Structure 1
Amino acid sequence: MYPINTISKGGLALVLAAAALGVPLAAAEPDDGELWAGAESRIQRHRMADAVVVVRDALGRPVEGAEVRIEQKTHAFLFGCNIFLWGRLPDAGMERAYRERFAALLNYATLPFYWGSYERRRGEPRHEETERVARWCQQQGIVTKGHPLAWNNADPPWLPDDLDEIRRLQMERIEDCVRRFTGLIDRWDVVNEVTHFDRPQFVTIRAPKHSAMWERVGQIEFARQCFRHARAAGPHATLIINDYRTDAACERVIEQLVDENGRRLYDVIGIQSHMHGGVWSNAKIWEVCQRFARFGVPLHFTETTILSGQQGRGRPRSTPWRSTPEGEARQAREVVRFYTMLFSHPAVEAITWWDLSDYRAWKGAPAGLVREDMSPKPAYQRLMDLVRGKWWTKLSLQTDQQGQGRLRGFLGDYAVTVTAPGKAPVAKDFSLARRQTNRWQIVLP
């Protein structure tokens, strides 16, 4: 129904990607209306699966008429946000509200690893502070990601002048972080914004030393080395290439991120979507997804911004950049549209919002799902209605003569409780996954 774009080379790769995703190739691009009209059916096809609950007694006989309560515990899809304010809010009330809002809605958190601020003094990385945040996330059932291991946005103050030594220190840092947090943080934005690494403000002002090293090693070769070192330190980690560019230049970078045998060095493609100036159309959302789905790996939308105030790429002159009632209504509508479109695309596996709160948000923009005082905006509630409502499975059923009950639910983890007359209730956890038999068996004593 919906085409994989053919603007990039690699026709066979496109066909294979389409087959893997269950998205047939077609001649014409769908328009905004078509894409929106088909979103619900795509969600049901790609985000849900069938399961059968089988209830037996201790002798293996089917139990007819057993009451089965099925409740989803978490999504397989990752709904996330950066968690940069954790432990850094000015009072206990704001801190408590921030954590409560985060955990109530989200199951994925991005933790900061910007080298310039993470290790202000040589040999004193902020590992202990980061571990506290990651442990809290783990207790809440929130998956964590580190961002980024390598990026030339700011030189650490102590960085030496020797470029070979900078490269060595960079690779050492990658291995240290990945090994240090194995089992606690196993997803990593390995290299950030490779496509345009040589932006003038980075090269001349913000990170002249790191940029000079990167240029000497080579744009692609440096990225390859970062991925090799990350993989050596974390053989089972999920490694992500993250970029704000969504054009052919970024495709060319990704095409080259392979080893000497042509195998991909990355596991996931990360796509930034800071939409300060206006939200992408459905057609652009789909085009970007199709452009990168051809690589045959999951897509993560890693940094998503939709404003609830005046739109624009920079702070309005002479006035505070505030959230407004009209802007909040627009943000809520666009959040529903943007998330629905992404959730309906089979290649997308994660969406990360950029800044939960307006308090100290990037660029000072009214970009949060909650306001500066941590009160929820309409967008927060609308997203809650989707993530924990419309896209959430909670139901009850009775087993038939074969002791079976059938359901269709959203992919993720479930708690199942079975009760029957004269029997003690039995509770068990299961996972609902795509392309699995999903046969959940419970034995009553």
Structure 2
Amino acid sequence: MNNISRRYILIGPLLCLLLTGCIKREPELDPYPQWTHVWADPSESAITLQWKYAYSAGNYSRSPVSLVVPKRIDVYFGELPSDLTLYKTLPVTDTLLQFTGLISGKQYHFKVHLITDNPYYSYSENVMAIPGKYNPLKPVRLPADITTFNKNPIEYLSYFQDTTKVLVGYWGTGTFLHNLKTNRWVKLSEQAGYPAWSKSNTKVAIGTHYADIKSIPASMDIFDFDQSQDSLRLIKRIRLPSSWLAGYIWSQDEKSIFLDIPIPTPSPVQQLFVANDSLTAPGSPTRYDKYSFVWLDENRLLLGGSTSLNGGVHGYNAVSHVIGATSSDPIVFNLSKGSYESLTDHPQLHEIGFPTPIDQASKIAYLNSVSGYAAVWLYDMKTRTSRPLTTRLSNGSLTIHGLQWIESHRMLNLYYSDYSANTVVHGYTIPF
């Protein structure tokens, strides 16, 4: 071995040590506590406020870092989020505070502040709740073998207006129709996207996207109701000019579908004509997310951000609560003007999930986490007030499969499963 080779053998490890590229370093641990959850559970004339804190994950036994123990917990309380006053100071061992003698139907706001010796590492979280009497949810009849017929995770559930048939979309295997009377399954499509029903409930569109520029194009399957077979019949499959697809909805005349192809951005609302597969853009592009499309009236569409997940985003996962992604607020698209309008008059409709119009769009049901957990709320477009329809849906994470208004029976149905146990599917009719 020559001298040059010896030098490289010696220099190589030294350089590696100097640049720290060959040393596996443990990630730096944060010694300060952080909130993992703050939530407010309402009941009649009362609210129970609870909280938890923890430290970031890591092996503290092998670290010289000492955990910082919080000094106290300050609880703030008020009727307006901008006017909260210190209500009580508690030791860090406390995890619950009961508020009684409250007025049912009124908003109450809370802030729980975790105080440490470093003001830059003192965390707080805000929640809101409305006390009241909540009626029990009525179970919906689901297919008995909904989780054994197909082992793949369920994405979307949607019932027919007569409630005797249901569409079930399974991840990676497609959409199936189940007849509750005959207990028969029929595969309709290789796609498992969101089922968008037409105004007359005689047509349904199921879209899919691949979220990959190099992949095959996204597509839209168009079905018509076949009365003779009491089932759906595939009319056509329309290929889209991109592998990306966000939200979509039928037009009022049921001749076209409004949709969003989000890549490239900014993107316009586009109109897909079913008769000839043509695409037009009735408005200018915008950077607002358009993952859900909801008709507010004959001319205006409510466009939801990525947290609304009423369209091309599969599932609706959230850790301990319902909002699990960053997105822009909802916005209104005025079809006749081809322009976008803000929702400044309706601040409660920001950051909502599965917006669902009921009573001819005079009200909007949606999922919200303003109380620290997933619950269904109802917003009145006329009075501009919102109220919860349910209390906490689960103690853990959820996957929402649909929030559906069935006009023929005047029923608001919610379908979801526990994220930690996707084999357990729940369906409820929500009284309002």
Tell me if both proteins adopt one fold, taking TM over 0.5 as the criterion.
no
Interval of TM-score (by shorter of Structure 1 and Structure 2): under 0.3
Q: Higher helix proportion, which one?
A: 1
Q: Normalising by structure 2, what TM-score?
A: 0.27
Q: Higher strand proportion, which one?
A: 2
Q: Which has the larger radius of gyration?
A: 2
